[in-house]
């Protein structure tokens, strides 16, 4: 029996493995330059037997006799391997050189690399990712790659103090309250600054650091409230805020009324 192996265009395929099994005995062959190979079994060639011929994933049971016989196998074009998905550089900046873990939210795959000199770069396929690093505020909001190519991780919450005093006397103001939102990622409202001053006029609070807080309101009873446009965390730690005493309009009205009565 002759086995012929050609491609989809009828061109012979040389050095193609061909496996022949008859009566439980298996023999391996390779096609020649013309894409053919002769399959013979001396002990059974005189009889009508059945060969099991395999070329790649195609296995055929073929009755064989004394007459000339050719079996053709047509092999389609080999499938090209799927290209690797396109990847993008994604850089994570850290406050310290520590391990950084990036997780694909869809596949749940994770990659961990050590930051060097305050940064580490990953090659990531398009998708949504969360980022985590010890002693840093983790980014739980999914990050779109390649929508974003870098991110800076902030440290965890740091102690932050503000001194609130009377603008005229310099005396500490007890019970003054501070409130505002801070940016620490690519959108606002992810961090807050809040707190109330003690008897020494000191507000002791904790804020994600570093971050920048905008339009921070400071107010206290019997004082005019004030708004601080920008507070930088941690650079402005220990800052002093002065409040002006509220004008006593009700008192002025009462004095005018008494004067009229007199």
Residue 260's pLDDT band (cuts 50, 70, 90)? very low
Distance CA 109, CA 94 (A): 22
Summary mean pLDDT of the chain: 84
In angstroms, the CA 17 to CA 55 distance is 7
If you average pLDDT over residues 188-206, what whole number do you get?
A: 85
Q: What is the pLDDT of residues 62-74, one digit of tens each?
A: 776 655 688 898 9
pLDDT score of 45 more than 90: no
**Distance from the Cα of residue 143 to its chain's centroid:** 6
At 44, the pLDDT band (50, 70, 90 cuts) reads very low
The winner for highest mean pLDDT among 79-83, 137-141, 172-176, 231-235 is 172-176
Location of structure tokens 């090659």: 123
């Amino acid at each position: 029996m002759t086995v012929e192996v050609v491609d989809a265009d009828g061109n012979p395929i040389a050095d193609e493995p061909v496996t022949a099994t008859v009566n439980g005995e298996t023999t391996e062959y390779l096609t020649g330059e013309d894409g053919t190979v002769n399959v013979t079994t001396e002990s059974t060639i005189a009889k009508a037997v059945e060969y099991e011929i395999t070329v790649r994933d195609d296995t055929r049971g073929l009755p064989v006799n004394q007459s000339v016989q050719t079996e053709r196998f047509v092999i389609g074009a080999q499938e090209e391997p799927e290209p690797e998905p396109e990847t993008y550089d994604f850089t994570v900046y850290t406050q310290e050189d520590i391990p950084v873990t990036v997780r694909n939210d869809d596949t749940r795959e994770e990659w961990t690399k050590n930051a060097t000199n305050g940064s580490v770069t990953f090659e990531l396929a398009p998708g949504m990712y969360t980022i985590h690093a010890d002693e840093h505020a983790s980014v739980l909001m999914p990050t779109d790659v390649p929508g974003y190519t870098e991110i800076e991780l902030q440290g965890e919450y740091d102690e932050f103090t503000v001194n609130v005093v009377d603008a005229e006397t310099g005396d500490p103001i007890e019970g003054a309250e501070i409130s505002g939102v801070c940016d620490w990622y690519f959108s606002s409202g992810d961090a807050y600054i809040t707190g109330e001053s003690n008897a020494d006029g000191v507000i002791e609070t904790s804020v994600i650091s570093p971050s920048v807080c905008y339009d921070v309101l400071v107010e206290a009873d019997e004082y005019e409230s004030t708004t601080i446009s920008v507070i930088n965390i941690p650079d402005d730690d220990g800052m002093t805020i002065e409040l002006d005493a509220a004008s006593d309009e009700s008192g002025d009205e009462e004095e005018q009324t008494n004067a009229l009565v007199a």
